[in-house]
Chains A and B, each alone.
Chain A
Amino acid sequence: MNQFQYVRPSKQQAAIEAVAKDANATFIAGGTNLVDLMKRGVMAPQKLVDINRLPLTRIDHDPGKLRIGALALNSAVADDKQVREHQPLLVQAINAGASAQLRNMATTGGNMLQRTRCPYFYDTAMPCNKREPGTGCGALEGINRMHAIFGFSDKCIAVHPSDMSVALVALDATVLVSGPRGDRRIAFADLHRLPGDTPEKDTTLEPGELITAVEVPDNPFTKHVSYHKVRERASYAFALVSAAAALDLDGSTIKAARLAFGGVAHKPWRLTAAEQFLVGKPATEETFKQAATVAMQGAKAFKHNEYKLRLAPNTLVQALKNATAA
């Protein structure tokens, strides 16, 4: 691993300045992804700014919204009484990710900012526009069974790996950010971006901007929720496809729905058209299948991931059935 300078500021502003003024500096929190990438030479920051001393671990429920500090650990969020009461979909999604050990290390902010697990991104002997812009996309004509079916470009077909983010995009979360030019709020759906011509940029964050918290507004989705994740072993693997489903039911009629896919695009994939389709309809398998057809509009497969064109709608239908039965 490359040598680097290590700093541990106790003030948020000092941390932000340290990263903003140095293009080779980066924040480190849990480190579960960054340390991995540094060991493999995929990332080689010259300076690590350890933010673990900043007071960003609180989880609060204020009237109307849940506020989760960026340094709240994944395990702490999933075990928190307020989160379990108000946002059970988020709890399911977090517990579907990684292992108990990693959830004890990974933070809320870091989980959102984890990099793709595309094997071409991870292998420095391979071309990858995300790792090294201009070198080409190894996955496009390579082994692409794990890759995107929505929103890709000819520069990058990688998928975002976070489970937690799939729930957060479905639940209309907002990301609170502090940077060298002050504070701002980003709708969760706008935090991650599509690859386009600049796949090296995963998010819309500016240099030096630090995620300080995420807010999730109160909603009626406290009972009929399901995060359904399909992977190649029963636990501790990234999703082939996952689906988040939250329903507000009046008897068997759907009053409102929130839906999103994971493992299908460069960002967590919100399914607003399918949500609208469900409103006012009966919560039956037939309706769910029709909604899944709506959800899949525009999907396109590559050589090895055609199975996702069947797996994704089936996963969504299963998530909706689970949510109804919950």
Chain B
Amino acid sequence: MNNEPDLPPSHDEARRNFLKQSSLLTAVALVPAPVVQAATAELDERVAAAIEKVPLKLEINGKKYKLDVEPRTTLLDLLREQLNLTGTKKGCDYGQCGACTVHVDGQRVNSCLSFAVMHDGKKITTIEGLADGDKLHPMQAAFVKHDGFQCGYCTPGQIMSAVACVREGHADSEAEIREYMSGNICRCGAYTNIVAAIQEVKNGGQKV
């Protein structure tokens, strides 16, 4: 049998994986519901080993969600792929561009570099949650007025970051704005107008 060609181990492996997955599904079914519920605060190893998806409670733009997500789902992918909140953009997906910026408990973060399950119980605000009905948020209105974009792809992240920048008190000068907005890249190069929009909101004294 020495001459037998090296076959890829795909058949056996696929079968093994299938069996593994089916037994995992059985395990999920066997975990009593109260155990899963109790897991939201603390997730111990016994429960984690038995479930593929982790229970997750989030409040997004004022709406409460009760979800089950795979641990490897990033907050960005949860928003876009599962909740259809596609206003938050995927640029680089590695935390280098800022297009995915959202607010978690009021703090701006890169949603691409964060597993959704790590935000259990938190309040998320995305670009969809900024306007008051049809009335634009002052920062959105300022971006329109000052042409703070060209293609618009980075804009949701820019605006979420800009709102946080003003709230944090890091918008006192052009230099400070540029430094504290450096995590948001605009390949069209609308930076001058973005800075002007932020300065207008900051100096206008409106509530952001």
By a beta-carbon cutoff of 8 Å, the part of chain A in contact with chain B is 1-10, 14, 18, 28, 31-32, 35-36, 38-40, 48, 50, 52-53, 75, 98-102, 104-105, 234-236
Contact = CB atoms under 8 A, between A and B. Distances in A.
Nearest to A37: B94
A214 B74 CA distance: 30
A4 B48 CA distance: 10
Contacts of A8: 42-43, 117, 120
B201 interface: no
B182 A102 contact: no
Given A8-B42, A28-B118, A104-B107, A35 B182 contact: no
B153 interface: no
A121 B113 CA distance: 19
B179 A31 contact: no
Given A8-B120, A9-B43, A48-B71, 14 more contacts: A1-B72, A3-B70, A5-B45, A5-B71, A6-B48, A6-B54, A8-B117, A31-B113, A40-B94, A53-B42, A99-B98, A100-B170, A101-B110, A236-B183
Given A6-B43, A7-B45, A31 B115 contact: yes
A5 B48 contact: yes
B95 A32 contact: yes
11 contacts: A4-B72, A6-B115, A8-B43, A8-B120, A9-B42, A36-B94, A50-B118, A100-B108, A100-B168, A104-B109, A235-B178
Nearest to B69: A6
Contact of A7 (B48, B74, B164): B48
A2 B72 CA distance: 8
B155 interface: no
A8 B184 CA distance: 31
Contacts of A99: 98, 182-184
Given A99-B183, A100-B165, A101-B183, A10 B42 contact: yes
Contacts, number: 103
Given A9-B44, A31-B113, A102-B183, A4 B71 contact: yes
Query: Considering residues A31, A99, A104, A234, which has the most beta carbons from chain B within 10 angstroms of its beta carbon?
Result: A99
Contacts of B74: 35
A237 to B, nearest CB: 9
Contacts of B113: 31-32, 35-36, 102, 105
B176 to A, nearest CB: 11
A235 B182 contact: yes
Interface of B: 41-45, 48-49, 54, 70-72, 74, 93-95, 98, 101, 107-110, 113-115, 117-118, 120, 161, 164-165, 168, 170, 178-184
Closest 4 CB pairs of A and B: A99-B183, A235-B182, A6-B71, A236-B182
Nearest to A105: B109
A33 to B, nearest CB: 9
A32 B182 contact: no
B183 A98 contact: yes
Contact of A102 (B110, B118, B179, B181): B110
Nearest to A237: B182
Contacts of A28: 115, 118
B71 A101 contact: no
B161 to A, nearest CB: 7
Contacts of B118: 28, 31, 50, 52
Nearest to B42: A10
Contact of A101 (B45, B98, B178): B98
A6 B117 contact: yes
B113 to A, nearest CB: 5
Contacts of A9: 42-44
B110 A32 contact: yes
Contacts of A100: 108, 161, 164-165, 168, 170, 180-183
A52 B181 CA distance: 27
A243 B95 CA distance: 25
B89 to A, nearest CB: 14
